[in-house]
Chains A and B, each alone.
Chain A
Amino acid sequence: MSATIYLHEFRTRLKSVLIWSVSIAFLIVFFTSMFSIFVDQAALMNEFLARYPQELRSAFGMDRMDLATVLGFYSFVFMFVQLCLAIQASNYGFGLVSIEESELTADFLMTKPVSRGQILTSKLLAALTSLAITNLVVWGVSVTAIEIFRGGHEYEPGTLILLLLGIVIFQLFFLSVGLAVSLLVKRVRSVTPYALGLGFGMYILSAFSGIFNDVKLELVTPFKHLDAPYIVQHGAYDAPLVLLNLAVTVIALAVSYWLYTRRDIPAVS
């Protein structure tokens, strides 16, 4: 680990972290503020939603959430938060080492007296710190917004903590899978399409798995591993799926270290 690289990396990403954090905070406050409207007209709302096709409702997980409860409603908001977090973490993952190569600064960094392992560790820790900041903002804003807008309705704090705790492993999954993929392909020219692809792709897979519930698509997507409606309904994680999530993360990280230390850094061409 090199403190020099860590600080440099962290500073480079600071602006992006602030933009993501503020955007997600805004999203949480905006949607949570509508809870009081929903809860007043809960019966009407549930009746209204029931008119939508079953497939559509299950795609959004709405067949399993009660919008009239605080956490039922929050789990609906939380799915959009997850989508944002997935794209952000994938973005950092795909860009972690590939940006140095596409902007040709890799030569500068790697001719310094640091090992590839040190470089990757420092970069990973810096990205994790960045993600942790967004994570803390989500925690703070979620709890505050719920407290302000719950309008006297009760909720189970333990379940909310479970939901929020899941963010760390959720982010880690996208960060490490993004990193591993970026090292598996020959060259990442632009990070954004890859990040959107992984983030949205996993989200859509999770939506589809709701529609064809006999196909086991939830096995691959973290949106199912840390399914908000499931956690709210059961007050617990779906343990085997969370373990699967962690296993994929660990494998992706191991593969990344293996590939990165053996990688040929392409020359300017």
Chain B
Amino acid sequence: MSVIEVNNLTKYYGKSRGIVDVSFKEEEGEIFGFIGPNGAGKSTTIRLLLSLIHPTKGSAKVFGKDVTTHGPEIRRDIGYLPSEVFYYEGMKVIDLLKYSASFFPGDCTQRMKELSEYMELEMNRRISDLSYGNKKKVGIVQGLLHSPKLLFLDEPTAGLDPLMQRKFFDLIRKENARGVTVFFSSHILGEVQRLCNRVGIIREGKIVEISDIRTLQKNNYKKVRVTAKGLKPADVKLPGVTNLQTEDGTMSFFFKGDINAVVKKIGGLKLEDLTIEEPTLEEIFMHYYE
């Protein structure tokens, strides 16, 4: 069963575009990466799925239920971590977490404690006294304490130091291993690459590509660097070679096509060094934005 099913979802804010005809599915247990630059419509999509805003056209289902009619029911099993967190400034961390927990059935005290210890969150401080990174930790604990089945992470790592980011990713992986489905929106491709199984790329409100992260990398360019004495551009002249750059006897280029052709072509050279790499998501990404 698809946990998220989005069909031709469209949102206009007055005349300005939010998203247009967005469709995709996320299966249970997946970590789905949703990438795009700022203003592409990532947050709009998440806010529609949480029914914080209402669609202009199209529909979306979460757990097989329509988000506009079954919002409260759906949200019982959803955790949400926004990119910027804001909480009731006058409250203490512990009171806020208790308030949050009180919306859900069951006792979350034990899990609240475990999560705060893991994230090194001080429970007795006032929200207004917390630094941005610490508020973010409150957000993480708050989003996870009721053991949701689906997690929405909207650029979650902003404000966390690298150490905390790693802990956070470990936490998300652990949750995922328990069967939690994760919808991960980000403009930082490295983290999507580290975490996700599948990605959707959104640009100017429209989905431009949805694919498995492996196939995305495989069906794409290879990055090739060749170092050899007396290397001339003609030595690597092949169909499918782009971005050819020469520097001190080293040539680097992108190649798309049958890799054997490259190997054959450079096989006759006396190589000093050769690397063939998969492109980073970053490089693939730039390609979509050209």
Contact = CB atoms under 8 A, between A and B. Distances in A.
B172 interface: no
Nearest to A3: B102
A12 B88 contact: yes
B75 A105 contact: no
B86 A108 contact: yes
A4 B96 CA distance: 12
B86 A265 contact: no
Interface stretch (A110-118, A127-135, A208-216, A223-231): A110-118
A107 B142 CA distance: 12
Interface residues of A, number: 22
Interface of B: 13, 43-44, 47, 50-54, 71-76, 78, 80, 82-84, 86-90, 99-100, 102-104, 142
B87 A108 contact: yes
B54 A113 contact: no
Contacts of A118: 72
Given A105-B87, A108-B87, A108-B100, A113 B47 contact: no
A111 B52 contact: yes
Contacts of A103: 86, 88-89
Contacts of B84: 104, 268
B88 A111 contact: no
Given A12-B88, A107-B82, A108-B86, A113 B72 contact: yes
B112 to A, nearest CB: 15
Among A2, A104, A112, max chain B CB count under 10 A is at A112
A265 B99 contact: no
Contacts of B78: 111
Contacts, number: 65
A103 to B, nearest CB: 6
A111 B62 CA distance: 14
Contacts of A114: 72, 75, 103
B47 A265 contact: yes
A111 B50 contact: yes
A113 B43 CA distance: 20
B82 A105 contact: no
B13 A264 contact: yes
Contacts of B80: 107, 111
A112 B79 CA distance: 9
Contacts of B86: 103-105, 107-108, 268
27 contacts: A4-B99, A4-B102, A103-B89, A105-B86, A105-B88, A107-B52, A107-B80, A107-B86, A108-B87, A108-B100, A112-B104, A113-B72, A113-B73, A113-B74, A113-B104, A114-B72, A114-B103, A118-B72, A262-B54, A264-B13, A264-B54, A265-B47, A265-B52, A265-B53, A267-B52, A268-B84, A268-B86
B82 to A, nearest CB: 6
Contacts of A104: 84, 86
A19 to B, nearest CB: 15
A115 B87 CA distance: 20
B75 A111 contact: yes
A113 B88 contact: no
A180 B280 CA distance: 52
